Chains A and B, each alone.
Chain A
Amino acid sequence: DAGVIQSPRHEVTEMGQEVTLRCKPISGHNSLFWYRQTMMRGLELLIYFNNNVPIDDSGMPEDRFSAKMPNASFSTLKIQPSEPRDSAVYFCASTETGETQYFGPGTRLLVL
């Protein structure tokens, strides 16, 4: 299995631009999670989906962030407009059992 796939791996953009991060979960996994990791705040859960339905988005920092999961094999996290404080590593993870989570390699986002 290829594992969780994320793209792009690195993104550098200017403040105010729209950023779209992509994730392909492991085939057969029915739950998907988006996390953000920074030195200051560690690994934070932003939102998670179960069977393509958003279950808990309480971690989404503000309305500039949105996430979708149109089908079982694809999810996006969008930031519009982006700000320098959004700079972080964004991870996608999936699970089949609801226990062990399998993480992707992450997207390193830098907003100038």
Chain B
Amino acid sequence: SQKIEQNSEALNIQEGKTATLTCNYTNYSPAYLQWYRQDPGRGPVFLLLIRENEKEKRKERLKVTFDTTLKQSLFHITASQPADSATYLCALHFNDYKLSFGAGTTVTVRA
């Protein structure tokens, strides 16, 4: 069965630095991959989607890469701010409308 791994449960960084989160998966590659942000006590919020034929996608200070050879996606937050502190989830789409979510990485940005 498909396994999704996100690097380290927690990531602590200094304000202004770049946070890099990893999402690895096993077996076959998804049609597309998404990243969501979740704040405590709230539901996940969509951030970015990248398709299997795309290498990179950007949105403001966020950047996502997708390497189907390595079976890995990287999520970067550049010029990080304390407001970026949250849990970030990667989600893989394989068929129909189903998404499989990773366990998430909690990012804390220190001022």
Q: Which 10 A-B pairs have the closest CB atoms?
A: A103-B43, A43-B101, A42-B103, A98-B97, A100-B46, A103-B44, A31-B97, A91-B43, A106-B43, A104-B43
Q: Interface size bucket, A side? A: 20 to 34
When distances are taken between beta carbons in the complex, the residues of chain B under 8 Å from A100 are 34, 46, 49
A-B contact pairs, 14 of them (CB 8 A): A4-B43, A42-B103, A42-B104, A43-B89, A48-B96, A50-B97, A55-B96, A95-B97, A99-B32, A100-B49, A101-B46, A102-B46, A105-B41, A105-B43
What's the nearest-Cβ distance from chain A to residue B67, in Å? Answer: 20
When distances are taken between beta carbons in the complex, the residues of chain A under 8 Å from B49 are 99-100
In the complex, A18 has a CB within 8 A of chain B: no
In the complex, B98 has a CB within 8 A of chain A: yes
Given contacts A48-B97, A98-B97, A100-B49, contact A43 B44 (CB under 8 A): yes
In the complex, A93 has a CB within 8 A of chain B: yes
